[in-house]
Every structure is written in C-alpha cells, then in structure tokens.
Amino acid sequence: MTDTTPATSAEHGAGAAVETDDQEQPDPQRWRVLGVSLVVGFMVLLDVTIVNVAVPSMRSGLDAAPGAIQWVVSGYALAFGLTLVTGGRLGDAYGRRRLMVIGLLGFVASSAAAGLAPDATWLVVARLVQGASAGLLTPQNSGLIQTLFRGRERGVAFGTFGLVVSVSSALGPVLGGLIIAIAGTEDGWRWIFLVNVPIGLVLLVPILRLVPGRDPSAGTGRVHLDLLGAVLLGATVLSVLIPVVNVEGGTVTLLPLLVLVPVFAVAFVRWEHHVVRRGGAPLLDVSLLRRTPGYASGVTIGALYFTGFTGVFLVLSVFLQEGRGLTALQAGLLLCPFAIGSAVAAPIAGRMVDRVGRVLTVGALVVMLGALVVLALVAPAGLPLWLALSVPLLVAGVGGGAVVSPNMTLSLADVPTRMGGAAGGALQTGQRIGAAIGAAVTMTAYQVAIERLDDPDQALRWGIGTSVALLLAALAAAVWSWRAEPHPGAEASPASSSR
C-alpha cells in the first residue's frame, strides 16, 4: 500500500494525453507513443518464446535436468502473468511513463543476470524477476491504447498490438536461432538474454520523452494492491505447474498437489468477492467480468488460446533439434512461416472486427485447429521438413494472427478508459498464465512420449495433439460467446464504443 504524490507539470510532458473519457480531441503524439510502447512490448513478449530454441544448449551448458530448464520457460510466463494486473493498477494510478521506466530497468537488470547465470537455479530466479518486470511493462500498452485512441482508431491500434503479440511469439525461435548461430552453441543462449540490455537502455530515452505521465484525474489517494489475491492466484497456478513439470522430470509423487488447485481457486474467487464488497481494488474485478459486455468471454478465450498455442513452438523446437538433429537457426527458420501468416492476418483482422464481431475469432480458431491437425499428420510422414512444416504453419499463423487482436478489441471495447490498464492487465494475465501452463503440459506430453515410445515422430504427435485438445476448449468458448452476445450491427460496433 503506497501513497501517491501529486503529479508535477513536468510529468504531463509532450506526450500527455489531451483527452478524457468525454473529450473528442485526440493526442497528436498518440501514434508515436504507440510505436514506442509496442517496441517495448515486442521485446518482452519475444522473451516468452525466444528461449525455446535454446533449451538443448541450456541443458548441456548448465548440465541441468529437463525439469529445471522447463522452469526457465514457464517461470517467466508465470511471473509475467501474476504481475500484470498489479502493473496495470499501478499504471492507472501513477502514470504509464513511471511504470514503464521502472519495469524496463528491472527487465534490463534481470536480463543481464540471466545472461551471466552460473547455474540453472540462478537462471530460473533471474527469469522470474525478468517476467515480473515484463508484467509491469505490458499492461501499459493496452492502457495507453484505451486512453489515447477512440472509435475505429482504437481497433486499428489493438490490431497493431495483436500483430506484435502474434509476431513476437512466432519470431522468437527464429531470432533465438540466429543469435545462437552467431554467438555459438556453447554461450549463444546467454546472448539471447544479454541482447536485451543495450536495447532496453536505448528505449528509455523515447519513453521519457513521449509516454504520458500521470493523469490528474486519477486522484492523489492511496493505491490498494491486492497482494493476497496475487498469492492465491499464484498458488493455484503453481499447484498445476509443479506436478506437471516434475512429471516431465520423471517424478509422479507430486501429482497429489493437483487436488489443491480447486481449493486455491475457490479461495481466490471468494477473496476477490470480499475485496469488491469492502470497496477495494481486486486483482480480478468481478464486477468488470459480470457487467462489461464481452470481457469475461474474452479473458476466457485468450487464456485458453495461449494455453494451447504456446507449447507448439516449444515442442517443435525441441523435436527439430533433438529429434532431427537440426541447428537452432535451422529450427527457427522452419518455424518462420507462422510469423509470416500472423503478420499478414493480424492487422487485417484488427480492421475487420468492428464489422464482423466474434465470428471472426471462431473462424480463425477453426483455421488454426485444422492446420495443426494437418501438421501432426504430415510432419513425421517422411516428407521434406520444409514442405511438411511450411504450409501448415503458414495457415496456422493466419488463424493465430486473426485470434489475438480481435479478441483484445472485443474484450476491451466497453471498458471505461480509467480502468484500461487494470482490465488489459487482467486480460493478459490469462494469456501469460495460460502460456505457462500450456508450455509445461505440452512439453511434458512430448517428453513422456519420448521416454515411453523412443520415437520423436510419435512424440511430436502427442505434443501437437495436446495443443489441439486445449485449443478446442478455446473454440468452444468462442462459439459460446458468439451465440450469447449481440452481433455488431450497422449502428454500433464493439470496437467503436467510446466511454
């Protein structure tokens, strides 16, 4: 619990927004501000998947068990997700610029610590701090879009943000493989983290010059952070991750921890209700979920989509290197068609969503699921790898790119701008926690299949099949939302709501 301080005139510098909920005049610097924030967002989201191609070299370089390295992947996404709502709340209260500076400094410092890690334990701790810092940075993106953009421009801005989310995830393996190829297999994984240091320091300059400071309308009272809510949510997710990751390492004795998942989940929901009743600021605003059209379903769809989608790149990266003997760069390049498909589809989908509505998400998920089923069938079938992977991944990328940006636009369209940071943080919390669980579950399915069948091709089918099952849940949620919510009409559209 921290006292805010009155904002100074300097804090509302050149990039300060000149509009409130009821004002029409847009900020003339809004597109520059968006550009800076999206570059930062690209960097932190890239770190979700850039380590995937480095998993084999980290295992050998640190002489670490598979379970320990799995925490390097899932721990980042977990810490990322658990700090997103808190980061959004702090950004709403103290200003986007201040939180971006603090988060970026933490991200730079923890990236340096990860790159210099002497052992796996050090690396896991550094990744947890890095993920928490990313959680302070990322919700400022959606908060800035909510504040600076209106009407159709907001859909375009969210479409661009969705493009960054999709492409950064897809380009991670490519850039990771390139860095390892340049720096060498022994220490190349270290430069995956160290490269963030100079980039982050350079980005501090435009953040300080362009990003808006604290909004005077936020008041000067106290900011009540729902720390117990964060602990309960973290305990819920850890009760899933710990036994799943240990199964990958060959240990089943921790599986009984799964019975704690509903216990912590119920305790979390009850506590959030209690915080709302007493007039506090919950980690997950129950009233926002209940009263804001499209928000609850959007959170659910986003969480389930990232649960199913994230593990695909991890499994393919390990399969291509350990199962087929390719280099990290070769593996990354083979995954590149997904990024191309996402880059094409995301901005188009962002412009279409106000006319088409939720059915766009349904169709995109169907396309992605079909492509993954084809991938599971043809990748191990004796075809050249570039042919077996390129077409299905390109089509899957088109589907994936048309999921993220429309879902964000539809989910946040009716959220008041004063709650934009916290609402965007809650939406992305589901995405990041879904990514942590999905990476652990999908990779565990692949590793268990390898141990039992000693056949990388069959193990790949197990891994992709697990992702398909998880994505089917996202499709079911999208269909339910499409049927339950009003379809956009000529007079009003989700993306054009202005509050």
pLDDT at 365: 95
pLDDT value of position 10: 36
Rounded Cα–Cα distance for residues 104 and 196 (Å): 10
Q: Are 474 and 306 in contact (CB under 8 A)?
A: no
pTM of the model: 0.74
| CATH classification for the domain delimited by 17-216+225-484, as one of 3.30.70.980, 3.20.20.100, 1.10.760.10, 1.20.1250.20 | 1.20.1250.20
What pLDDT score was predicted for residue 91? 82
Q: For residue 204, what pLDDT is reported? A: 92
User: Where do the domains of the chain lie?
Assistant: 17-216+225-484
Task: Output the pLDDT for position 474.
Answer: 92
Considering only CA atoms, which of 209, 196, 193 is closest in space to residue 35? 209
Token output for 439: 């990476």
Q: With left for phi above 0 and alpha for psi between -120 and 50, is residue 292 left, alpha or beta?
A: beta
- What are the average pLDDT values for consecutive 10-residue runs of the chain, which has 499 residues? 38 39 64 89 86 84 77 84 80 84 95 93 93 88 80 77 75 86 86 93 91 64 74 84 69 77 89 82 70 80 89 88 87 87 82 83 94 86 80 91 82 69 72 83 88 87 93 92 64 41
Picking from 304, 330, 308, 309, the residue whose alpha carbon sits closest to that of residue 319 is 330
Q: What is the pLDDT of residues 1-28, one digit of tens each?
A: 334 333 333 334 334 443 344 445 677 7
488 φ/ψ angles, rounded to the nearest 5 degrees: -65, 140
Render pLDDT for 437-449 as a digit per residue (tens, 0 to 9). 888 889 888 988 8
Q: Phi/psi at 267 (nearest 5 deg)?
A: -60, -40
What pLDDT shows up at residue 211? Answer: 84
* Spatial distance between the Cα atoms of 324 and 116, rounded to a whole number of angstroms: 30
Q: Supply the DSSP string of 163-208, one letter for each residue.
A: HHHHHHHHHHHHHHHHHHHHH-TTTHHHHHHHTHHHHHHHHHHHHH
Name the residue among 403, 382, 202 with its Cα closest to residue 301: 403
Residue 448 CB neighbour total at 10 angstroms? 16
Structure tokens at 282: 């919950």
pLDDT at 420: 61
Q: How far apart are CA 461 and CA 468, in angstroms?
A: 10
Looking at residue 110, what is its pLDDT?
96
